[in-house]
Amino acid sequence: MSRLVRSPQRADNELPIAGLEDVLGPGLGGEGAVSPGDNYLERIAKYVPGEVLAFFIFVNVILEQAVKTGGKTAMMAGVPVTSVAQGALVVGLILTPFFIWYVREEGDAWLINAFVSTLAFPFWAYALGAVAFDDHWDGNLAAILLATFTVVSGLIAPRAARPKKRKEKKISAPSRPDRPHLDLVEPSSA
């Protein structure tokens, strides 16, 4: 199983092994066959930017501790903690698509995954009580927003990959039209 949402894959029209369509069963090896991508629940789970959220939670806990000990006017290296928290939120937003790009594999719909995961990040950050949202945080609103986004995000599914176009060989006419092309014929032993 991939870490990212998988695109449905179309089967190749020309199977490398003759007769394989009989072994695979009806509709699995023939023209237009599609292997399914991830289902709704798998997409919901894979759209959560878990690794970036883990980094963000670590930074957010440090910032929370600084706010608890220093109050709302707490400073870190001469910079207000709320500014550092907003910077950490922006860094998380920027890291999410780069991380998705880094862990992609063949067959992953990584662009869609990067888009939805980046969109999901602020919802998760808000629900986790990010210091950047301290002045506007409400636990009930956080739960409603996260649940709504999660349910809707599962509806975003990648399309099946388009089959690659094949280059057809052009049959060229004989170079000399006065000499017709002769088929090779085995000499008969008479």
Q: What percent of the chain has pLDDT over 70?
A: 69
Mean pLDDT for 55-81 is 93
- pLDDT for 159: 84
Q: How many CB atoms lie within 10 A of CB 72?
A: 10
- pLDDT for 7: 80
Residue 92 and residue 58: Cα distance in Å, rounded? 12
Mean pLDDT for 62-84 is 92
DSSP state of 73: T
Mean pLDDT for 116-131 is 96
Question: Where does the chain have alpha helices with state H?
Answer: 20-24, 40-46, 50-70, 81-103, 110-127, 139-153
* All structural domains of the chain with their residue ranges: 39-153
Contact 146, 79 (CB under 8 A): no
- pLDDT for 15: 47
- pLDDT for 2: 63
Q: 137, 128, 70: which is closest to 79 by C-alpha?
A: 70
* Res. 34: pLDDT tops 60: no
Residue 115 to residues 26, 33, 85, 169, 181, Cα–Cα distance (Å): 36, 28, 23, 40, 58
Residue 156 and residue 158: Cα distance in Å, rounded? 7
Q: How many CB atoms lie within 10 A of CB 33?
A: 17
* Mean pLDDT over each residue of the chain, to the nearest integer: 81
Residue 27 and residue 31: Cα distance in Å, rounded? 8
